[in-house]
């Protein structure tokens, strides 16, 4: 099978997924085109033109399979490159633009939402990384499209999309799962941006400091030029409690997760949460808000109602009484061996003889 893998905004989690696909299915002859994760509006709207002009020879080849992220304007690309029309077309939604929170400086732009919808319409198979991602797209699209000046019969299509779409998370590599840590080291390993709600995380730590509760903290994750000011102020008052600060090389990042005990999320935006899953795989007990994608993946004992007060209460209990901590979720359920067969089905592969 010859396959074209398209990623229009190749952020870290998207590259992680694409690398995993190629490694999990070496029997497929992969050709990969991707665009750097910057200039979002240009990427999401201009990717067919960029690829058509820069990669014309590749797109004119004959492919059995096209796998694209939801930021790829697949409908336009197939129109510009009709040779792709005969391939099996799979669109993978890492996220959807209908449920993406906007900062106070952002305005609603319909173009990225329409690209999501056109990609889904052009696909033979639509895949989401969580039920929350699927459901929030359908609900958001229903509200968005109700504003159109013509009352189109969209509800049957949205209902079919919800019923027939697949839910397959981005899998983790096949590796040994570390046992749970029982110490007092807390890790934050998310993007340093407003939608991850770092203010709530540091507000909870400030309460723990005021109560005299002993802990250490490792604050990692991808950084950008424009980052929330709370990181700089928190670094000053956390002082010697900090064991790691800032983005880390891969080996150092993994070692820090191995040495940590609790991983926390306070996010307002998450469709799967690979950073939390990676930390759980390395022995960190997750503490995540009871919203977004997290009920899809974590038991009640690892979720808090979502407010700072509840987060402080749960951390206080876990730090002062380690025996009260719940069991570590089994990360093997998120690794490639658990999902290869389901991915093979959506890609149109026949089962291998050893899995038939």
> What are the tens digits of pLDDT across the range 162-204?
999 999 999 999 999 999 989 999 999 999 999 999 999 999 9
CA distances from 17 to 50, 64, 83 (A): 22, 20, 26
Distant-in-sequence, close-in-space partners of 85: CB < 8 Å, separation ≥ 6: 78
β-bridge partners, 91: 68, 126
What does the buried/exposed string (b/e) look like for 253-288 if buried means 16 or more CB atoms within 10 Å of the residue's CB? Answer: beebbebbbbbbbbbebbbbbbbbbbbbbbbbbbbb
Give the distance, in angstroms, between the CA of residue 24 and the centroid of all CA atoms in the same chain: 19
Question: Would you state the pLDDT for residue 171?
Answer: 98
Question: Would you state the pLDDT for residue 109?
Answer: 80
* Helix (H) / strand (E) containing 126: strand 125-128
CA distances from 106 to 37, 95, 142, 189, 222 (A): 18, 18, 22, 25, 21
Question: Would you state the pLDDT for residue 62?
Answer: 95
Q: Taking CA 26 as the corner, what is the angle to CA 23 and CA 32, rounded to the nearest 5 degrees?
A: 75
Q: In degrees rounded to 5, what are phi and psi of residue 187?
A: -120, 140
Domains of the chain, first to last:
2-172+336-347 (3.40.50), 185-333 (3.40.50.2000)
Instruction: Concatenate the DSSP letters of all residues of 153-217 into one string.
Output: --HHHHHHHHHH-EE---PBPS-PPPPPP-S-EEEEES-SSGGG-HHHHHHHHHHHHHTT---EE
Question: Would you state the pLDDT for residue 355?
Answer: 46
Judge whether 181 and 284 are in contact, CB under 8 Å. yes
Question: Would you state the pLDDT for residue 356?
Answer: 40
For helices 110-122 and 131-145, what crossing angle results, to 10°?
A: 110
CA distances from 221 to 175, 198, 248, 249 (A): 22, 12, 8, 10
pLDDT tens per residue across span 241-268: 999 999 999 999 999 999 999 999 999 9
Query: Which mean pLDDT values do the consecutive 10-residue runs of the chain (356 residues) have?
Result: 96 95 98 94 94 94 97 96 96 93 68 94 97 96 85 85 96 95 96 94 98 98 87 96 96 97 97 97 98 97 98 98 96 97 94 50
Q: pTM surpassing 0.95?
A: no
Residues 262 and 186: their CA atoms lie apart, in Å, by: 5
Question: Would you state the pLDDT for residue 105?
Answer: 64
């Amino acid at each position: 099978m010859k396959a074209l893998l398209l990623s229009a905004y190749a952020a870290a989690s998207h590259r992680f997924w694409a690398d995993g696909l190629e490694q999990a299915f070496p029997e497929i002859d992969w050709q990969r085109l991707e665009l750097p994760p910057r200039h979002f509006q240009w990427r999401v709207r201009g990717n067919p033109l960029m690829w058509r002009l820069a990669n014309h020879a590749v797109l004119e080849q004959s492919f059995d399979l096209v796998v694209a992220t939801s930021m790829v304007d697949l409908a336009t690309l197939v129109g510009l490159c009709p040779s792709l029309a005969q391939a099996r077309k799979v669109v993978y939604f890492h996220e959807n633009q209908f449920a993406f929170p906007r900062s106070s400086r952002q305005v609603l732009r319909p173009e990225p939402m329409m690209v999501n919808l056109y990609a889904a319409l052009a696909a033979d198979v639509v895949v989401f990384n969580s039920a929350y991602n699927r459901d929030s797209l359908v609900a958001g699209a229903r509200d968005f499209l109700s504003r159109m000046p013509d009352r189109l019969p969209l509800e049957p299509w949205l209902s079919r999309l919800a019923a027939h779409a697949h839910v397959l998370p981005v899998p983790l590599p096949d590796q040994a799962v570390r046992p749970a840590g029982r110490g007092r080291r807390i890790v934050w390993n998310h993007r340093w941006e407003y939608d991850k709600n770092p203010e709530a995380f540091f507000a909870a730590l400030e309460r723990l400091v005021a109560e005299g509760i002993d802990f250490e903290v490792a604050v990692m994750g991808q950084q950008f030029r424009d980052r929330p000011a709370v990181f700089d102020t928190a670094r000053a008052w956390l002082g010697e409690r900090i064991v790691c600060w800032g983005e880390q090389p891969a080996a150092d990042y993994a070692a820090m997760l191995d040495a940590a005990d609790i991983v926390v999320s306070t996010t307002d935006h998450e469709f799967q949460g690979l950073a939390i899953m990676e930390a759980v795989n390395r022995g960190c007990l997750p503490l995540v808000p009871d919203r977004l994608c997290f009920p899809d993946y974590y038991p009640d004992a690892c979720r808090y109602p979502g407010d700072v007060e509840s987060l402080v209460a749960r951390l206080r209990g876990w730090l002062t009484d380690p025996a009260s901590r719940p069991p570590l979720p089994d990360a093997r359920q998120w690794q490639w061996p658990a999902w290869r067969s389901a991915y093979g089905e959506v890609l149109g592969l026949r089962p291998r003889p050893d899995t038939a």
